[in-house]
Chain A
């Protein structure tokens, strides 16, 4: 797997370029002043030694642009929906306690024309299943992901398709917070590239009690050693720095249903 794929990539007329990120394989080519892109995931590819050429049944998408350019920009971005992140082991946080955890989530790959940032496509590096966050009558569509909710990432293998997100959870309520899953709204986070790894800025979640919305603050604080110059991609939504929203609350009634 290529570890330094982010940035500009030149395409040569008639030649196919292969990029692999996570479970995703992308093939790009420049032909007749058009950019051609196709993709496949590991589970869709039969065991194949040579990945220079896409599968025979691959469906190509073509883009024609007024200023035809053979250079594309490959950029990691956050998923296009929030993620409901389930902790592998539930963690109980006592009242008036704050902890720092790290969760790593798969990135989306954005391909755009290098000279004018015209976005061609976005593809998830790992296929994530979708889930519903809310009740049966209102809520939002999210991706489903799992986390080990690590307290330290220094001994963890580096994976170029995962972005490490520092999250500070503050339990300001008088009750114990059982952290088994939470809705992680990643659209307001920036992504940084540091020592061949992707990092997000810090998110702070203030839990106020089960019946109240949690306050989610994008503190903008960067992990040790990272500077703003290492910014790779801006947030999808550049709006409020904080929001009050449902983050931890469980929604579906457990038990027999008709």
Chain B
């Protein structure tokens, strides 16, 4: 008996079946990978990376399902009883997979509504990151401190999502407080000059200075400057430093909270007398 003859172990029919199955798998998987790559590239080039990723997945998973049906046909497994059984199993699975189904349906809504795309920067419930992929069950983000975050689609549908990069330009609101003694016209000129010299700020839309409020210790201004969306963080970082530097140069006071005491409108201010040796008194009190 020939030990290496496979027909001694398996019937000829089974061997042929197995060969056909292996051939189907070996041929179709590379073809599917090629088709997925082509669909991804084509849709990315023609539309956006978001569509490329989606098209790639649709092509690949549809192909896998077709391949499995073909393989089952080759193995003589009839689909009819499977589909009939699926009805019963489906009820059981339906209860067990409510969350997954909800995520899948939420994913479809996300694709249709398109609140964001791959590579957008979004804020979901305080988590800010770049969208890596929008998948069947979840959205994957990369945060700026390089963490991977998986957010279920259902959560995204239920939560407020802020897309930080949807529009090409973005405004930064700098809260600027100056002392009551300062000339507001002069402060305006200085701020506009700072905006003009900042390399990230745009000339148009024009920077605005809004008189916000008479604060408890300061006059509060809202200084609004626009930048291209990808430079917004640089604008935020540089312009506040430049305002501080320019205020220091021009002698504009940025006040800290302080309180003035009066003993009534008719009375004189509280008398204050410096006592000799006060420093020593103070240090003793500290001990």
Q: Which residues of A contact B (CB under 8 A)?
A: 84, 129-133, 136-139, 141, 144, 252, 257
Contact = CB atoms under 8 A, between A and B. Distances in A.
Name, among B167, B168, B201, the residue most crowded by chain A CB atoms within 10 Å (CB to CB): B168
A132 B167 contact: no
Contacts of A131: 202-204
Interface in B219-241: 224, 226, 228
Contact of B169 (A84, A132, A257): A132
Contacts of A144: 203-204
Given A129-B196, A132-B226, A252 B168 contact: no
Contacts of B203: 84, 129-131, 144
Contacts of A133: 204
A136 B205 contact: yes
A141 B205 contact: no
Contacts of A137: 167-168
Main secondary structure of the interface of A (DSSP, over half): strand
A132 B208 contact: no
Given A130-B202, A130-B228, A136-B205, 4 more contacts: A137-B168, A138-B168, A141-B168, A144-B203
Contacts of A84: 203-204
Contacts of A136: 167, 169, 205
Contacts of B224: 257
A138 B273 CA distance: 65
A136 B167 CA distance: 7
Nearest to B167: A137
Interface residue tally of chain B, by bracket? Answer: 10 to 19
Nearest to B208: A257
A12 B167 CA distance: 50
A75 B201 CA distance: 29
Contacts of B204: 84, 131-133, 144, 252
B61 to A, nearest CB: 35
The 5 A-B residue pairs whose C-beta atoms are closest, nearest first, are: A131-B203, A144-B203, A131-B204, A252-B205, A129-B203
Contacts of B228: 130, 132, 141
B147 to A, nearest CB: 31
A139 B228 CA distance: 11
Contacts of B167: 136-137
A27 B273 CA distance: 65
B234 to A, nearest CB: 13
A37 B6 CA distance: 74
18 contacts: A84-B203, A84-B204, A129-B201, A130-B202, A131-B202, A131-B203, A132-B168, A132-B169, A132-B204, A132-B205, A132-B226, A137-B168, A138-B168, A139-B169, A141-B228, A144-B203, A144-B204, A257-B224
Contacts of B208: 257
Nearest to B196: A129
A132 B169 CA distance: 8
Contacts of A257: 208, 224
A137 B208 CA distance: 19
Contacts of A132: 168-169, 202, 204-205, 226, 228
